[in-house]
Amino acid sequence: MKILCVFLGGGIGSLLRYGIQELSRKPLADAAFPWGTFGVNVTGSFLIGLFYALSFRFPIPDEWRLFLTVGLCGGFTTFSTFSNEGLLLLRQGFYGIFFLYAAGSLAAGLLAVWAGHWAGSAFSGQ
């Protein structure tokens, strides 16, 4: 049952990511900042912080926790696409955009997971 929950959550997360990235896609040849990947990774970081904080406070079945965190957030966020887009920026000589993308993704992701955990803890009274 746990494997099925991760599988379903991952599929839903991946489809959501694909849809959001398609709505925001611009060719990297134009040196466009990869907003779609940046947005889903920061949003997913917030959500995973929120889901874990809430799961510490409220007893939810392991299957639901796995569905939301490993499945949904794991499928929604994407390190591989982030890495590929970073490489494309470097290959095209867009070093400044690459640095902003890499450093911004790390900083915003950490801030987002902290904010999600804070929000979940505040909501749950921790």
Tell me the two tokens of residue 93.
């000589």
Helix then strand count (H, E) for the chain reads 6, 0
pLDDT digit string (tens) for 41-95? 999 999 999 999 999 888 899 999 999 999 999 999 999 999 999 999 999 999 9
What's the whole-model pTM score?
Answer: 0.89
Pick from 103, 101, 106: which is nearest to 87 by CA? 101
User: Which sequence spans correspond to the domains of the chain?
Assistant: 2-124
Tell me the two tokens of residue 30.
């134009």
Q: Is 79 within 8 Å of 106 (Cβ atoms)? A: no
- Whole-number Cα distances in Å, 77 to 44, 74, 80, 123: 6, 6, 9, 24
